[in-house]
Amino acid sequence: MPLPKLQQIPAGIAAVTDYEPFARERMSEQAWAYLAGAAADELTLADNRVAFDRLRLRSRVLTDLSGGNTRVRLFGQDFDHPIFLAPVAYQKLAHPEGELASVLGAAALRAGMLVSTQASVELELIASRAQTPLWFQLYIQPDRDFTAALIRRAESAGYQALVVTVDAPVSGVRNREQRAGFALPPGVEAVNLRGQQPLQAHADPAAGSLLLGGPLLAAAPGWADLAWLQQQTRLPILLKGIMSGADAERALTAGVDGLVVSNHGGRSLDGLPATIEVLPEVAAVVQGRVPVLLDGGIRRGTDVLKALALGADAVLVGRPYVFGLAAAGAVGVAHVLQILRAELEVAMALTGCADLQGIGPEVIWRTSPR
């Protein structure tokens, strides 16, 4: 199959947030509500961003930056930089080529990509186009046999890690989607879940329905399912959705291989703290025993630096690359990654960090020593 025709980067793009208005005008109201929106009053969505703005950096001068680089090694895989594409469902809502354009953009910048269980393209087809490491984001389905088969498919296709989302046994109450009357348009579906109902469901307060005690939550995964999952795969297992030191410790006790500090981009439970605020608590528990990643609110290379300084080994970006995808296809995805990486390198140089190993908490400016 021929490669998709590359689109043009819109004029005037200097920062990743510049893609947002271009993306908005290229999407339907319903698609925009799904991809840009979050739960309830979207307080957590906003705080993910402003919490980064509250952090200040400490510059250093006359440091030796020879041999500088942004390389990172995770689970035996080498990456040129610590900026990964987060799992985002139904990417054909943003662009007709969906995840195929995203994986092409990721490959151009040698970025790792996490593919959603609810991708709008078959996981095998995405893998066949990949020239960069892929990890598979997994929702454990009520049908455990179906879940096991999904894992086999990911392994056979060459995915190199499983990232299990644990913070969304049900979807959050997403008022923006409700107001827009969101429904998947014809031709967009969770193709990898054909024959199986997705685990997630929307709460419907207007209907007065209660999920507690119902069949959906009765089938929701628990810690015992993690042990079952470990028996199903040889791949490293990361848990995505860790927002407390207590859950981080329990996950380590259970033998997980990595953690992702995430509040689901504010799409699950509104009112949660920003992920960058929770990161130090989780990092203090982990103490380097497993890799820790973070998502939520990354819009600048300085945000990446702040996350690494507070204990993350790498970060995931979601909405920024989806907006690049909507505006300019694969080229837009690659450009978003390029901007963030360039900004990270500048920030590292100006804070005296030649490589990622040199980034520590001293990079964060504080009003008093700690």
Percent helix, strand, coil in the chain (nearest 5)?
45, 10, 45
> What residue ranges in 66-112 does DSSP mark as E strands?
72-74, 77-79, 83-85
Distance CA 286, CA 280 (A): 10
Who's near 250: CB < 8 A, 6+ residues apart? 223
Distance CA 368, CA 370 (A): 7
Distance CA 169, CA 229 (A): 16
Q: Is residue 293 within 8 Å of 259, Cβ to Cβ?
A: yes
Q: Is residue 160 within 8 Å of 235, Cβ to Cβ?
A: yes
Q: Is residue 172 within 8 Å of 39, Cβ to Cβ?
A: yes
Distance CA 42, CA 281 (A): 24
Q: Is residue 142 within 8 Å of 111, Cβ to Cβ?
A: no
Structure tokens at 86: 């987060």
Instruction: Report which residue type is found at 109.
Output: L
Paired residues of 246 in beta bridges: none
User: What's the N-to-C CA distance of the chain in angstroms?
Assistant: 57
Distance CA 251, CA 282 (A): 11
* Angle between helix 275-286 and 301-309 (nearest 10): 30
Who's near 321: CB < 8 A, 6+ residues apart? 85, 88, 102, 105, 332, 333, 336, 337
Distance CA 138, CA 226 (A): 12
Residues marked as catalytic: 264
Q: Is residue 94 within 8 Å of 27, Cβ to Cβ?
A: yes
Distance CA 337, CA 55 (A): 22
